[in-house]
Amino acid sequence: MSTNSNLVVVTGGASGIGEATARRFAESGAKVVIADRNVERGQQVADELVKAGRDAVFHELDLASDASIDKLAKNVLSSYGVPHSLINSGGILQNAVRVLEMDVAEFDRLYQINVRGTLMASRAFGGAMCDAGKGSIINLCSLTTFRGSPQIGYSVGKAGLKMLTEVMAAEWGPKGVRVNAVAPGYTLTPAMQARIDSGERDPDVVLQKSALRRFVSPKEVADTIHFLCSDEASAITGVTLPIDCGWLVTVAYSAAAAQPQ
């Protein structure tokens, strides 16, 4: 089966970064498969794109279920061919919690969806990409990939995804498949806005700790993902790229023992 150079699969495509990414690829002329467990919202996004003259379809997906992932892959491969790109943006968030107070069941669910779900989706489509000799996979990491965080299950998983990205890039590179990751900073998605509104995130802290003094927009992450899947990035694989408005460098700079007077 050959690669469909116009086909992109976006998990978690019903909202946030996934939705922005689905829209970005659709606007560039790609056929986009939006995969998400939120059937109502996912279908709405697909319908909006079709109404705007874009090529998009929705498929239900539960990343906690191997059977659901296998069903998606089978349907996509048989109906449309091998995707040029797979964007693993599906996942769940976690609020801050102490190690001794965390519900271990929450840790397990975060791992199951964010890490194992990404692995299984990558395997489901990556094998076909390797057989076809071409493809690009993007994983969603985070600032917690690089810095410790009290979001224990989330941060451990996101750190693991960086290693998964590097391993798959090394193994599948000789087959023509590139694997990269993006590590978005504090991105003003609907989920982030909801946490700000509920008092679970302090926007002033984000602004003070970011060099550019602002949040990242979902579109900015989507644009970067689009670039990494393009021919312009054909020599890039195994990279986890921060998109953080300078949060990582500012935190390190402001913590230095020597400061300008």
Active site residues: 154
Sign of the C-alpha dihedral computed for residues 151, 154, 160 and 162 taken in this order:
negative
Q: In 38-174, which residue ranges form alpha helices assigned H by DSSP?
A: 39-51, 66-79, 104-110, 117-132, 152-172
Give residue 1's identity as a one-letter amino acid code: M
First CA to last CA distance, the chain: 64
Instruction: Give the single-character DSSP code of 196.
Output: H
Helices (H) and strands (E) in the chain, counts: 10, 7
Phi, psi of 12 (to 5 degrees): 65, 30
SS3 assignment, position 11: strand
Rounded to a whole number, what is the largest CA-CA distance in the chain?
Answer: 64
**The two structure tokens encoding residue 14:** 């019903």
Of 166, 161, 181, residue with least CA distance to 225? 181
- For residues 145 and 201, what is the distance between their CA atoms, to the nearest angstrom? 19
- For residues 23 and 30, what is the distance between their CA atoms, to the nearest angstrom? 10
CB 36 within 8 A of CB 18: yes
**The two structure tokens encoding residue 59:** 């498929």
